[in-house]
Amino acid sequence: MSKNKQTAIVPIREQNYAEWYQQVIKAADMAENSDVRGCMVIKPWGYAIWENIQRALDIMFRETGHRNAYFPIFIPKSYFEKEAEHVEGFAKECAIVTHSRLEPDGAGGLKVAGELTEPYIVRPTSETIIGASFAKWVSSYRDLPLLINQWANIVRWEMRTRLFLRTAEFLWQEGHTVHETEAEAMEETRKMLGVYATFAKEFLALPVIQGEKTESEKFPGAVTTFCIEAMMQDKKALQSGTSHFLGQNFAKSSGIRYQSRSGEFEYAWTTSWGVSTRLIGALIMAHSDDNGLVLPPKIAPSHVVIIPIYRNEEEHEQVITFAKELEKQFKQLSFEGVKIYTELDDRDLTSSERNWYWIKKGIPVRIEIGPRDIAQNTVMVARRDQEPRDKEAVAVENLVSFIPTALSAMQEGYYQRALAFREENTVEIDDKDQFYKYFTPKNSGQPEIHGGFANAHWCGSEVCEEQIKTDLKVSIRCIPFESKEEAGKCICCGKESRRRVIFAKSY
């Protein structure tokens, strides 16, 4: 591949990955920074992707027995104080409401007034406020399990923000469940992680590793945190979803008790789990290329664009009539249970301008129609997973089968490509020097570029974990469920270890 090849996105991934990411979002018109520091405006193309993520997940939640509900955005400070680890984890990134009105300040401006007796925290997560409701809803073992999900916005006062990946306000879903026994709560925690992994694979074409977080990386207040981790094209890891086994910690702090089968009052067992608009960042970084956004067809806002081509008004009339007829036919189409949406782009722009506009937005299939094509009853079809100039003539009567087949092939192709990339960039390392070399930036001008994922032994000590974090900015992403017991030596201290964990740089 020639480096001088013209690309739609400047800089390209190899030159400056972080800037490339911002430019892909801009070129696809998905989102932008707002005047409110750290908060983003999600534009229609980006929001439609979120809606598709939401729709697919919502069905999966419903099928696993969950129901949606909605709880307040404001959490009384006293609720937070009930769970010590929890408050410690979120204290440094809270937005706090302390006043309730504005008054003239006498100088033509306004001043805040009406100080609240108790400040409210704008929810950074809802365990405590939902727990207060659950304490009222649960009184007997007959009320369990209680399986609730909330779609909401969240505020975490982040200082360093990046569109979709880390923003002060973001959108998410948070599942909160209550169970009679420890085993049932643990089963739920695992089950929902599995739902996330399936969703990532089937809809986002994202291969993920399922595993458990170390003590230092787990959710504040949780007993155990499970996660899915994906590899981005800069070989860094992105945590794409988490599922927490909360034990009885939050049940005790919120007073969620139930009368058991034997008549005793007992504390319940709870879980929580979530994914957010961060998944859109994962999508962009896992699949997109130097020509812009690449979208797995199952979550694309639209799937096909028809681009009429003509030289004069007479041709325009003929071509647009033909195009509208096709658009009508396509309305009936679907693939793998997903309805196919079509755009008709008749704007007064050259065909090249219109093609590039849609390439940058990641639309999976482009169809050009001109008078000559109509005469032959064919159209020219281009796929986003092929070179921009590659086009193929397809007979009009074959389009209704060609399009769904192409979309399915692209969906599968992106998954296989992402999986192959992760496998190529994952190694087993047993030697400390080699480990340090692997994570040392190559002299590429991009300090973040490095080896990838390293499967290495770890003794379980936080001291070793911290040492590697300090030296290399590399963390333990997870202890994979799949890792087998195997004797080895800790990559940091050389002491006995019983299993390998995944080390990587991360977002």
Residues lying near Zn ion in the complex (CB under 5 A): 459, 461, 464, 490, 492-493
Nearer to Zn ion, 35 or 433 (CB): 433
Closest to Zn ion by CB, 216 vs 334, is 216
Distance between CA atoms of residues 357 and 372, nearest Å: 24
Neighbours of 176 (CB within 10 A): 28
Of the pair 166, 498, the CB lying nearest Zn ion is at 498
Indicate the SS3 state at residue 209: strand
Report in angstroms how near the CB of residue 478 gets to Zn ion at its nearest: 17
Provide the minimum distance between the beta carbon of 433 and Zn ion in the complex, in angstroms, as a whole number.
Answer: 16
What is the Cα–Cα distance from 15 to 386, expressed in whole angstroms?
Answer: 22
Nearer to Zn ion, 144 or 501 (CB): 501
The distance of closest approach from Cβ of residue 436 to Zn ion in the complex, given in angstroms and rounded to an integer, is 15
The residues near 24 (Cβ < 8 Å, ≥ 6 apart) are 9, 284, 288, 292, 293, 360
- Distance separating alpha carbons of residues 29 and 43, to the nearest angstrom: 7
Alpha carbons 180 and 256: distance in angstroms, whole number: 11
Q: How far is CA 432 from CA 458, 462, 489, in A?
A: 11, 17, 10
CB of 494 to Zn ion, least distance (A): 7
Least distance (Å) from Zn ion to the CB of residue 460? 7
Query: What is the largest distance, in Å, between two alpha-carbon atoms of the chain?
Result: 84
CB atoms within 10 A of CB 246: 27
Q: How far is the CB of 200 from Zn ion (least distance, A)?
A: 31
Closest CA to 291 of 383, 402, 394: 383
Q: Which is nearer to Zn ion, 353 or 466 (CB)?
A: 466
Q: Which CB, 418 or 491, lies closer to Zn ion?
A: 491
Instruction: Give whichever of 392 and 462 is closer to Zn ion, judged by the CB atom.
Output: 462
**Least Cβ distance, residue 503 to Zn ion (angstroms):** 12
Q: How far apart are CA 390 and CA 383, in angstroms?
A: 8
